[in-house]
Amino acid sequence: MEETRGAGAGKARLRRVKAEGEDKLATLNLTPGLKVYGERLIEVDAAEYRMWDPVRSKLAAALLKGLKNLPIHEGGKVLYLGASTGTTVSHVSDLLGESGVVFAVEVAPRVAREFLEQVASKRSNVIPIVEDARRPERYRSVFSKVDVVYCDIAQPDQTEIALLNCRRHLSAGGSLLLIIKARSIDVLKDPDRVFKEEGDKIEAAGFKINQLIRLDPFDKDHALISAVWTE
């Protein structure tokens, strides 16, 4: 059971806690006292943690389903595509801590507004970008290469979009975390086949796939691919 240790505070930024006999996740709250989506706040070792709900956040589901070597660390830089209202981004922001930064891209005005008000404006390590992920050359705020591109935009051509973003903004040796929703790519095809085909595209672009994790029962017909850019 791995934990990301906060170098500065000496506090684990990610914790597994037992509750009601189950394994649960929690992240060290960057904004103590503030909740983002109604999650429970708990205290562990004199620090406040936010429970991380795997039903609401696919990254939490992937961790509970056995994702190893989460590439999001304290002080890191993440480009997050499809921020939506910021549920997952807020936990990524907790994991990165004050010294990290997450550039969060979202194009839909309604959710982006909520994201700005509830998450981006309250967390100093979140930089919002209201832009289409198909146009990574327009993200003016991205001031450095990132260690991780996280993509969850539920578009049929999202693998291509993710790769386009990697080429522009991912540093050599950086990681890609790609959420694949089989039904948004091809409703009729067998999900496993969709996952395999998308994985092939990623490998063809020079990535090495570390893990493919199915997210059921939390999300039906979803998977997360964790890959590293080797060229």
Partner 1 sequence: MKGRLFLTEVGVMVLDKPMETIVAKRFPEGEALQLYKRIESGEMIPLLKTLLAEAVEKGFDSFQIYEESLLKAAADAGFQVSSLSDHEVERMQGRKTALMVQAGWVKDEEEAQKVIRDFALKHSSLKLREMAAKPDLQVIQSVQALDEFDRTLNNVEARVREWYGLHFPELDRILDSPESYVNLVAKFGRRDSITKEGLEKLDFPAEKIEKILSSAERSRGSDLRDEDLQRILDLAEEAVRMSGIRDRLNKHVEQTMSQIAPNVTAVAGATIGARLIAKAGGLDKLARRPASTIQVLGAEKALFRALRTGARPPKHGILFQHQAVHAAPRWQRGKIARSLAAKIAIAARIDFYRGTSESGLKENLDKRFEEIRQKYSEPPAPTAQPRFEREERRGGRGGERRWQGGRNKRRWGRQGEAQKGQGRGRR
Ligand X SMILES: C[S@@+](CC[C@H](N)C(=O)[O-])C[C@H]1O[C@@H](n2cnc3c(N)ncnc32)[C@H](O)[C@@H]1O
Closest CA to 14 of 6, 24, 3: 3
Question: Can residue 89 be called a binding residue for partner 1 (CB under 8 A)?
Answer: no
Q: Which does residue 209 touch among ligand X, partner 1, none (CB within 5 to 8 A, set by kind)?
A: none
Closest CA to 192 of 209, 207, 212, 206: 212
Beta partners for 163?
A: none
Collapsing DSSP to helix, strand or coil, 72 comes out as coil
Comparison of 205 and 215: residue with beta carbon closer to ligand X? 215
Residue from 109, 172, 188, 204 binding partner 1 (CB under 8 A): 109
CB 9, min distance to ligand X, A: 25
Backbone angles phi, psi at 85, to 5 degrees: -85, -5
What number of other Cβ atoms are within 10 A of residue 85's Cβ? 21
CB 85, min distance to ligand X, A: 7
Comparison of 51 and 142: residue with beta carbon closer to partner 1? 142
Backbone angles phi, psi at 171, to 5 degrees: -80, 160
Q: Which does residue 153 touch among ligand X, partner 1, none (CB within 5 to 8 A, set by kind)?
A: ligand X
Residue from 101, 153, 161, 202 binding partner 1 (CB under 8 A): 101
How many of the chain's residues bind partner 1 (CB under 8 A)?
21
What number of other Cβ atoms are within 10 A of residue 156's Cβ? 11
Contact residues: partner 1, CB under 8 A: 101, 109, 112-113, 116, 120-121, 124, 126-130, 137, 140-145, 168
